[in-house]
Structure 1
Amino acid sequence: IDPARDIEIIDLELALADLQVVENRLSSLAKELRVKRDSELEHERDLLERCRRSLESGEALRELELSPEEEKMIKGFQFLTRKPMLILLNIGEDQMEEAEELLNSIHRFTDRPGRGAIALCAELEMEISQLEDEEAEEFLKEMGLEGSALQRMVKASYDLMDLVTFFTGGDKETRAWTAPKGTTAHRAAGMIHSDMERGFIRAEVINWRDLLDCGSFAKAREEGKLRIEGKGYIVQDGDVLHIRFNV
């Protein structure tokens, strides 16, 4: 078993698939531009030629710095090497103590933009999945793991895609929302409902752990753990938002 070799093979296959898409589109553009000159098509051609050079040099398209306009221009191609990549290193139970060392052995692949890696033991995870929640939590603590492989995969994926989760709660339901990092409270309100964004007054904010400790919003207010934030507040992962608005 050679993880580095396997990663190189996957990288090559994905790059070749993207290169084929680029070549096909460049061929079509060449025909179109012979018929008429078009600045937008020329811009697309120049951008795709940059993509081709990047792929031919062994560089994934996720490492290519693009402007928002250029990003929009190539979005429809759904390039595989433009997407974030999370590498899962499946190890044996007897290798759990060496997990960090094994991850370091592939750092030349993972210490690059848009990449990440976690180590897991699929056999062990299957055993954990058959336990009751309390037993599973105790087992993970004994193994020195922060959570199940699924939980760690979700967290790593969110980090790679620059996403955060915030929560809203009321008498009827509690809901989790996914938002890009850097989302303001004002924009988050709009994700919940357009009326909230239009009539935004303020957001009452508390971390979900603090809210659980307090037991209710009322108790959180009493203990001074509920913060008042304005439109420009940057929503943090794990925030619980109570939006005040008027329309």
Structure 2
Amino acid sequence: MNVVSAITGLPYVGKTTLFNLLTGAHASTGAFAGAEAETNVGVAKVPDQRVEELAALYKPKKITHAEIMYRDIGLARAEKPGQAISPQKLGDLRTADAIVHVVRAFSAPSVPHVDGSVDPVRDLSTVELELLFADHAVVERRLERIEPELRSSKGPEREMKEREKAVLRRAIAALAEERPLRDLDLDPDEEKAIRGFRFLTRMPVLVAVNLDEDDVAEPERVIAPVREAAKAHRASAVVPVSAKLEAEIAELPPDEAASFRRDLGLAEPALDRLIRATYELLGLCSFFTVGEDEVRAWTVPYGAPAQQAAGAIHTDLERGFIRAEVIGWQELLKAGSEANAKKLGVMRTEGKTYPVKDGEILHVLFNV
């Protein structure tokens, strides 16, 4: 599964600094070209110590971590709601699985806030309103177009369009009340009816509160009001970052960087915090394939059936799936080898519907 996260927010909040920190890119920061700026695209490797430990056991030719693609999408400062996101940026945002919304909680006299003062809760609301307007426009246009289609359709096609219309009516009512679509309870058929629209307010939102260096050790005072505002809606989470400071730390040798973080009270790098929160929001987990050629992490929805997980490796494995040999990564390390794991009876054989758990190793048997 290829995971895509869109980093967005108002001008001068530290979006591109965070993007560079996560992906190791060197996109220019500072000067802001608003909605016309190019979208930066980069990839971050998912930190996972389990991959390193399994690699130490197998000593493979290749080690491959799971990846997340990040898109750095700048918004303009708009006088009225609904004007901050250009059509190009809307298209870029709709490719995402989750949105990382950067809000500014740092002070910098040389970089004035576009609204004159630093207020992360206000900024959260401002961008959320832009996303609501964007979705409202899509729903409104579709409802206008669906009426003539209904008049000319029959049978199952008409039923499908009636279902779509009913869901869109619920959607436009929620948006009119400034409620994001992720707050709606939809059954699988209803979800399927609107999936193709890629509604922005249906996506999980990770709010990255960009802190002053002085607040890094004790961020709760700053992020508590943001967390309170975010929890008003489903599929929302808040993480503290200090993008500029952590970017500087990331340039240090690993031992020095770890020491610096300890001194600041940071338990882990920003990349680890944001990716873990993203996985939790999206309900994702990692499983592993291992061997002398490669140790690799794969991303799937938590509890995905083993046959579906096999498809993440290759479609042939899903199509010809017979069964999978499964073992937890800690059990394998404790056993010391697959042969010993089988002797101890800790390697199991599971069928197509087995729900894959985080940290499990799969050997897929298939026939095409």
TM-based fold match above 0.5: yes
1:139 correspondence with 2:260? yes
- Using the size of structure 2 for normalisation, the TM-score is 0.59
Structure 1, unpaired ranges of 5+: none
Asked whether the equivalents of residues 196 and 243 of structure 1 are also in contact (C-alpha less than 8 Å), the reply is: no
Q: Deviation of residue 149 (structure 1)?
A: 0.8
Whole-Å separation in 2 of the counterparts to 1:215 and 1:145: 34
Q: Secondary structure at the match of 1:98?
A: coil
The higher-RCO structure (CA 8 Å, 6+ apart) is: 2
Q: Please report the TM-score for the alignment, with normalisation by the length of structure 1.
A: 0.85
Q: CA deviation at 1:124?
A: 1.7
In the TM superposition, residue 91 of structure 1 has moved relative to its aligned partner by: 0.3
For the 8 Å contact 1:201–1:246, the answer to whether it is kept is no
Say how many residue pairs are matched.
245
Shift of residue 13, structure 1, vs aligned partner: 0.6
Distance 1:26 1:202 in 2: 46
Equivalent position SS for 2:292: coil
After superposition, residues 221-240 of structure 1 pair within 5 angstroms as 226-231=346-351, 232-240=353-361
Contact 2:164–2:193, Cα closer than 8 Å, also in 1: yes
CA RMSD across the alignment: 2.7
Letter in 1 for 2:130: E
Q: Which residue of 1 aligns with 2:183?
A: 63
Compute the displacement of 1:214 (Å): 6.7
Cα displacement (A) at 1:197: 6.9
Alignment correspondent of 2:222: 102
Distance 1:22 1:201 in 2: 44
Selected match of 1:172 from 279, 293, 297: 293
Output the CA distance in 1 between the equivalents of 2:152 and 2:304.
Answer: 45
Aligned equivalent of 1:203: 325
1:141/1:236 CA distance change after superposition, 3 Å = farther
The answer to whether the aligner puts 1:47 opposite 2:182 as a matched pair is: no
Aligned equivalents of 1:145, 1:234: Cα separation in 2: 35
- Whether the 8 Å contact between 1:54 and 1:61 is mirrored in structure 2 is yes
Q: Percent identity?
A: 38
* Aligned counterparts of 1:200 and 1:35: Cα–Cα separation in 2: 45
In structure 2, the residue matched to 1:9 is: 126
Give the CA deviation at 1:40.
Answer: 2.9
Change (3 A) 1:3 1:168: same
Looking at structure 1, the residues matched to 318 and 262 of structure 2 have their Cα atoms a distance apart, in angstroms, of 42
Cα offset for 1:56?
Answer: 0.8
Compared with structure 1, are the counterparts of its residues 125 and 31 closer, same or farther at alpha carbon in structure 2 (3 Å cutoff)?
A: same
1:76-225 aligned at under 5 Å gives the runs 76-111=196-231, 112-193=233-314, 194-195=316-317, 198=320, 200-207=322-329, 216-217=337-338
Which segments of 5 or more consecutive residues in structure 2 lack a partner in the other structure? 1-117
Q: Do 2:331 and 2:346's aligned partners in 1 also have CA atoms closer than 8 Å?
A: no
Higher helix share: 1
Runs (4+) of structure 1 moved beyond 6 Å?
none
Q: Which moved more, 1:85-94 or 1:62-71?
A: 62-71
CA drift of 1:96 comes to 1.5
Q: Is the Cα contact below 8 Å between 1:165 and 1:177 reproduced in 2?
A: yes
SS of residue paired to 2:185 = coil
